[in-house]
Structure 1
Amino acid sequence: MAERITLHVLDSDSARRARLARLAFAAGHHAEIYASADELLSHAPSGGLVIAHDEPVGEGIPSLLGLMNRFGHWLPVIAVAERPQTESVVRAIKAGALDYLVLPHGIAPLNEAIERAAREADNHRAHRARAADARQRIARLSLREREVLDRLADGCSNKAIARELDISPRTVEIHRMKMMGKLGARHAAEAVRLRIEADGLHIAAA
């Protein structure tokens, strides 16, 4: 059996909400129910896992995850639908859902999904923590230092950066040295990795 967890059941249909909540309790979990994303976010749960009905199909889950990211209330999300379509599944997973299920009618499929999501959520949290740290470091950079970092991430040499920014290579070196110091990066590859990680969080929150 999966470890006991709080399941936040999000569905506008009261009958489906009740069915999922009963199933969650039967599987040994605690369930909280919500009729809308606004209701879920107004309570801002700090833990657990969201089971959300994808409505409108193909749009509900990306919209929910976008709101969660915007308000900084990320929780792992399992999407459900009565008849999942490939396009909807792809959109939900790309938006950040950890799984997408046919609306479960039994304990075993629900617990299997919860176990998978719990494992994936740990990895996702670690990734988000690294990305948030990278964004905080990059926020310390001046505009010019950020421009140097952006071009470094594009694979440009100091000379190429100097041409693009219309400054001398020596000035690029100075900005690059200051940029590396503010980022706490020991070498260029580490600075580029921070830039990529920060962009990953930005894309997920868009």
Structure 2
Amino acid sequence: MADRVTLHILDGDSARRAQLARLAFAAGHHAEIYASAEELLTHAPSTGLVLAHDEPVGEGIPRLIAAMMHAGHWLPVIAISEAPETSAVVRAIKAGALDYLAMPSQIAPLNEAVAGAGREADTYRAQRARAAEARQRIARLSSREREVLDRLAEGCSNKAIARELDISPRTVEIHRMKMMGKLGARHAAEAVRLRIEATGLEELAA
């Protein structure tokens, strides 16, 4: 039997929720059920794994993970749907889901997915937790402070930022000082690191 895990089952359909909960209990796990992402985030569980129905297909999982990140909360996510489409699987995995299953009806596939997600979860949890914390800090910034941070992350000097934003270098310094204070950053490199953790290296390289 697989190690006992709390599965947070997220599905808007009550019959599917019940079916998945019965399967989870039969597999030796504990199950908590939620009808919506809002309900899940309200309870904000700190342990376990989310088993979420991808609804609308291709959009539900990215929306869920984005909402979790915005709330500063992350748990490993396994996506499910009746007939997984390749495009939906790709979108879910890119968003951060650890696996994507056809609606499980047997214990073995469920336990295999849970075990696999568990092996990856520690690495993902640390990475996602850092990203969630960074996004929360950056959300405190004003629009102008965010513009200064974005250009700082691109390697711009204060003078270059001033030219791009059509403001004085002194004004850039003031925005930069306020930005650093809100981020809790001791120096520019730490602010840039938070920006990278919040948005990803791929966005900066785009």
The C-alpha deviation readout for 1:28-62, integer Å capped at 9, x for no partner, is: 11112334444444544332212122223223323
Residues 11, 17 of structure 1: 8 Å contact kept: yes
Distance 1:180 1:8 in 2: 37
Aligned partner of 1:191 in structure 2 is 191
RMSD (Å), alpha carbons: 3.5
The C-alpha deviation readout for 1:6-49, integer Å capped at 9, x for no partner, is: 11222344443333222212221111233444444454433221
Percent identity over paired residues: 73
Change (3 A) 1:26 1:172: same
Gaps of 5+ in 2: none
Change (3 A) 1:63 1:195: closer
Q: Normalising by structure 2, what TM-score? A: 0.72
Gaps of 5+ in 1: none
Residues 145, 175 of structure 1: 8 Å contact kept: no
Rg (Cα) greater in structure: 1
Aligned partner of 1:31 in structure 2 is 31
Q: How do 1:18-167 residues align onto structure 2 when only pairs under 5 Å count?
A: 18-135=18-135, 147-166=147-166
Distance 1:152 1:62 in 2: 29
Q: Normalising by structure 1, what TM-score? A: 0.72
Change (3 A) 1:196 1:108: same
Distance 1:41 1:178 in 2: 34
Q: One-letter code of the match for 1:19?
A: Q
Distance 2:38 2:68 in 1: 10
Aligned partner of 2:8 in structure 1 is 8
| Segment drifting more, 5-14 vs 145-154 | 145-154
Change (3 A) 1:41 1:174: closer
Change (3 A) 1:114 1:148: same
Change (3 A) 1:33 1:157: closer
Residues 58, 87 of structure 2: 8 Å contact kept: yes
Distance 1:45 1:154 in 2: 36
Q: One-letter code of the match for 1:125?
A: R
The C-alpha deviation readout for 1:89-148, integer Å capped at 9, x for no partner, is: 122223332211122233222122112222333223322332344456657878776544
